[in-house]
Amino acid sequence: MADSTKYMPINERTLVSDLKLKNVFSFRTKKTRAFAYVFIAIFVAVTFFLAFNPSPDPSSPWFSSIFTSTSISTSIKANGTTTTSSSSSSGAYGSAGSQFSSIYSYFFPSNSSEALQNSTVSSPSSNATDSRSPTMNLETPNVIKDPPIVQNQTKSNDSNQTMIGSPLSQPVLNQTAIGSPPPQPYSDQIATGSKSSPQHGSNKTTIVNLPSQPVTNQTTKTVSNSASESQNSITNNATENRMKASPNSEKSLPTSWGNGAGSGPGQRIEDKITTKNVTSLGKKQGFDDLVKNLVNCNLFDGDWVRDDSYPLYKPGSCSLIDEQFNCFSNGRPDLGFQNYKWKPNGCSLPRLDGSKMLKLLKGKRLVFVGDSLNRNMWESLVCILRNSLKDQTKVYEASGRHHFRSEASYSFVFKDYDCTVEFFVAPFLVQEWEIKDKNGTQKETLRLDLISSSADQYKTADVVVFNTGHWWTHDKTSKGEDYYQEGNHVYKELNVLEAFRKAMTTWGNWVDANMNPKKTSVFFRGYSASHFSGGQWNSGGACDHESEPIKNTTYLTPYPDKMIVLEKVFKGMKNRVSYLNITRLTDFRKDGHPSVYRKKHYTAEEIKSPLHYQDCSHWCLPGVPDAWNEILYAQLLVKQYQNQQQKL
Burial class (CB in 10 A: 0-12, 13-18, 19+), 84: buried
Element (H, E) at 577: strand 577-580
* Residue 146 falls in the annotated catalytic set: no
| Residue in 372, 452, 528, 578 annotated catalytic | 372
**CA distances to 110, 339, 529, 546 from 334, in Å:** 82, 11, 21, 10
Q: Are strands 489-490 and 395-397 parallel, antiparallel or unpaired?
A: unpaired
d(CA 180, CA 122): 12
Q: Distance from first CA to last CA of the chain, Å, rounded?
A: 99
Give backbone dihedrals phi and psi of 421, rounded to 5 degrees, phi first: -120, 115
* Whether 615 is catalytic: yes
Active site residue 200: no
Radius of gyration of the chain (CA): 43
Which residues are within 8 A (CB) of 452 and not within 5 positions of it... i.e. 6 or more apart?
369, 424, 426, 428, 429, 430, 431
Cα 528 from chain centroid (whole Å) = 35
Q: Which residues of 77-115 form beta strands (DSSP E)?
A: 82-86
Q: Which residue among 249, 615, 617, 626 is the active-site one?
A: 615
CA-based nearest residue to 111, from 237, 232, 206: 232
Separation CA 224–CA 121 (nearest Å): 12
Identify the active-site residue in 470, 531, 593, 618.
Answer: 618
Pairing of strands 72-76, 82-86: antiparallel
The residues carrying an active-site annotation are 372, 615, 618
